[in-house]
Amino acid sequence: MYNINNILRENIKNLTPYSSARDEYQGEASVFLDANENAFGSPLNQQFNRYPDPLQYQLKKRITEIKGVPPRNIFVGNGSDEAIDILFRSFCNPGVDNVIIVPPTYGMYQVSANINDVEARKVLLTEDYQLNLEGIAEAIDEHTKLIFICSPNNPTGNSINRADVETLLANFNGLVIVDEAYINFSRQKTFIQELTEYANLVVLQTLSKAWGLAGLRVGMAFASEEIIEVMNKVKPPYNVNEASQQLALEALSNIDQINSWIKETLTQRDRLVLELKNFDFVLDIYPSDANFILVKTTDANKIYNYLVSKGIIIRNRSKVELCEGCLRITVGTPDENTTLLQTLQNFK
Ligand SMILES: *Cc1c(COP(=O)(O)O)cnc(C)c1O
């Protein structure tokens, strides 16, 4: 049976979190001489002399309106990469515990594991990029704390079968992290609605992809209240800066713009698939639920280098297991996609 107390690190269980100046008073105040800030202001048109809200109250309120998840079930991080790192630091004892990753997948799970001196056990996806449930079951031992599933998956673009993820959620005694960085482009439903069903589920989303705010570094984790409490305890007190909180809040009122960009991206994705199929160096294009496509080619390195020489950068994934010969292409604007396709016409 999953129980957070069985997987939490002892030092985190016993941790007294940093208490910030603003945490220690309650009520209204107008004179703040408690945090050693510059009381005169900032040498800018906008004022950033005060520390930001450690728990991002306004931003979470807006996220609640959009996602239907109460603030107590939301963690906001300096990108979802920060949430990944905090999960390692909260639940994995360095040199002792392990996690399971299912390559080919997002590279940060392995890097975060390495930084935290935590073993990442690799259970390759199947040939059709789905979970190898038997392999995962064999890899799990009493020190396995986290399983990372990326759906839609980066770099393959497909969604992971929902029933398989639910099998893990129902049977694994640690946390199952479902990374939904690309969910806005997907035909599949989010796992957010399963939060009430599974206490060991963590759903990651980000404002870096569909929301167009990669430069602001804002990512979210949705999970049970007890998991969110731990993450808030472990995070740096002011992990999301004031400019990012304000701008993210403003951006989140422009849903119509985002939805129309998503629609356009899907149209352009279909167009790229249709037109790329005609090139004889294209062997296969994998079905995508994301804003990129994985394309199997006859000579990935040569195509990649040719495009670089023409000022077009795509991602060469040909050295990745199960992605031999593959290039990952992000869907661009109509003009960018035209440039890509026209440039490829001249590839010899
Ligand atoms: C891009 C991406 C992220 C984004 O991380 P941020 O730190 O929020 O920018 C997370 N997971 C996956 C799978 C990604 O591809």
Domain boundaries, the chain: 4-23+53-251, 256-345
Question: Predicted confidence band at 215 (pLDDT cuts at 50, 70, 90)?
Answer: very high
Residues with Cβ within 8 Å of residue 212, at least 6 apart in sequence: 251, 258, 261
Q: Distance between CA 151 and CA 155 in Å, rounded?
A: 10
The overall pTM is greater than 0.85? yes
pLDDT recorded at residue 48: 98
Task: Kindly report, residue by residue over 108-138, the tens digit of the pLDDT.
Answer: 999 999 999 999 999 999 999 999 999 999 9
3-class state of residue 206 by DSSP: strand
Is any ligand 1 atom within 6 A of the Cβ of residue 81? Answer: yes
Q: Distance between CA 269 and CA 110 in Å, rounded?
A: 29
Q: Distance between CA 152 and CA 184 in Å, rounded?
A: 10
Helix (H) or strand (E) holding 242: helix 242-251
* pLDDT value at 21 more than 80: no
Question: Predicted confidence band at 25 (pLDDT cuts at 50, 70, 90)?
Answer: confident
Is any ligand 1 atom within 6 A of the Cβ of residue 206? Answer: yes
Residues of the chain with pLDDT > 90: what percent? Answer: 96
Is any ligand 1 atom within 6 A of the Cβ of residue 179? Answer: yes
Helix axes 255-276, 334-345, angle to 10 degrees: 10
Radius of gyration of the chain (CA): 22
pLDDT recorded at residue 24: 75
Q: How far is the CA of 236 from the centre of ligand 1 (A)?
A: 19
Q: Distance between CA 255 and CA 212 in Å, rounded?
A: 11
Strand order in the sheet with 98-101: 74-77, 219-222, 201-206, 175-179, 144-150, 98-101, 119-122
**For residue 104, cis peptide bond before it (omega within 30 degrees of 0):** yes
**Span 4-23+53-251 CATH architecture:** 3-Layer(aba) Sandwich (3.40)
Q: How far is the CA of 262 from the centre of ligand 1 (A)?
A: 17
Q: Distance between CA 269 and CA 49 in Å, rounded?
A: 44
Is CATH 1.10.1420.10 correct for 256-345? no
pLDDT recorded at residue 324: 97
At residue 144, φ and ψ (nearest 5 deg) are -85, 120
Residues with Cβ within 8 Å of residue 118, at least 6 apart in sequence: 88, 92, 93, 94, 95, 97, 98, 99
Query: Sign of torsion, CA 185 267 273 332?
Result: negative
Q: Locate the ligand 1 atom nearest the alpha carbon of residue 106 and give its number.
A: 13
Q: Distance between CA 166 and CA 156 in Å, rounded?
A: 21
Q: How far is the CA of 125 from the centre of ligand 1 (A)?
A: 20
Task: Kindly report, residue by residue over 246-274, the tens digit of the pLDDT.
Answer: 999 999 999 999 999 999 999 999 999 99
DSSP letter for 144, please.
E
pLDDT recorded at residue 290: 98
* pLDDT value at 184 more than 80: yes
Question: Predicted confidence band at 348 (pLDDT cuts at 50, 70, 90)?
Answer: confident
For ligand 1, atom 2, the nearest C-alpha belongs to 181
Task: Kindly report, residue by residue over 277-301, the tens digit of the pLDDT.
Answer: 999 999 999 999 999 999 999 999 9
Question: Predicted confidence band at 227 (pLDDT cuts at 50, 70, 90)?
Answer: very high
The secondary structure of 156-190, three-state, reads: CCCCCCHHHHHHHHHHCCCEEEEECCCHHHCCCCC
